[in-house]
């Protein structure tokens, strides 16, 4: 039996989550244009942050830039790179209380060697249940 969106074994039916929106800058243009590295890095940091990665897809653009999307049991994550300015947008939304989206963003910033990290956290759904 499959779980509905925003449900995990620990929080079935919990309509609550955290949405972390981040901008990373001061990142190597080469890393931001390396599709395979970005796919692997996003999957790894999400797993380390206790998210359940179901699928990762990506698109490399010409002349540069990469978008990577991760489908999670807990919701989704995305990165959109801008190698020409050494920056990347990161978006991680997880429902329930098990996954740690802010940790995933910090681990990704570390993996990319970002010089600057700016984040906003939006609590979504039923506020008293969000982690």
Positions marked active-site: 75, 80, 95
Distances (CA, A) of 72 to 63, 88, 96: 29, 20, 12
Cβ atoms 97, 11 nearer than 8 A: yes
DSSP 38: H
Residues ≥6 apart with Cβ < 8 Å to 106: 117
Query: How far is it, in rounded angstroms, from Cα 104 to Cα 44?
Result: 9
Distances (CA, A) of 15 to 76, 86, 123, 128, 131: 15, 36, 11, 10, 12
Beta bridge partners of 16: 125
């Amino acid at each position: 039996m499959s779980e509905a969106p925003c449900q995990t074994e620990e929080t079935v039916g919990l309509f609550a989550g955290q949405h972390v929106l981040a901008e990373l800058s001061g990142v190597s243009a080469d890393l931001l244009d390396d599709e395979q590295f970005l796919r692997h890095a996003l999957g790894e940091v999400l797993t380390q942050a206790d998210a359940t990665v179901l699928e990762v897809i990506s698109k490399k653009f010409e002349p540069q830039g990469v978008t990577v999307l991760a489908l999670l049991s807990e919701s989704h994550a995305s990165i959109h790179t801008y190698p020409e300015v050494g920056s990347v947008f990161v978006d991680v939304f997880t429902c329930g209380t098990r996954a740690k989206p802010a940790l995933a963003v910090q681990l990704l910033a570390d993996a990319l060697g970002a010089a600057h990290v700016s984040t906003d956290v939006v609590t979504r759904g039923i506020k008293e249940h969000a982690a």
